[in-house]
Amino acid sequence: MESTRFSIPNISCGHCVMTIKRELSEIQGVKKVEGDPETKEIVVEWEAPATLEGIKAILKEINYPPAG
């Protein structure tokens, strides 16, 4: 299992975090998504077939692209 912390500047509230959780949880292999609107960070845990590139692509698609 892999885990990555993303900094997402577009997060402004708990609803943003819930949207990210809902969208990323639909990816096969994503096991856990946690976020904090105050730090504007999310942590994603996943395993194959999910990929880091796929997770980043979904975040960009839903208008929450990770910084950097």
Structural domain spans, the chain: 2-61
The predicted model gives 5-33 an average pLDDT of 97
Residue 63 region by backbone torsions, left for phi larger than 0, else alpha for psi between -120 and 50, else beta: left
- Asked if 48 and 18 touch (Cβ cutoff 8 Å), the reply is no
Phi, psi angles (nearest 5°) of residue 58: -65, -45
**pLDDT tens column, 22-39:** 999 999 999 999 999 999
Tell me whether strands 41-46 and 30-36 are parallel, antiparallel or unpaired: antiparallel
Q: What is the DSSP letter of 18?
A: H
Percent of the chain with pLDDT over 90: 99
- Asked if 2 and 45 touch (Cβ cutoff 8 Å), the reply is yes
Average pLDDT, the chain: 96
Residue 68 has pLDDT above 90, yes or no: no
Tokens matching residue 61: 């698609």
> In CATH, what class is 2-61?
alpha beta
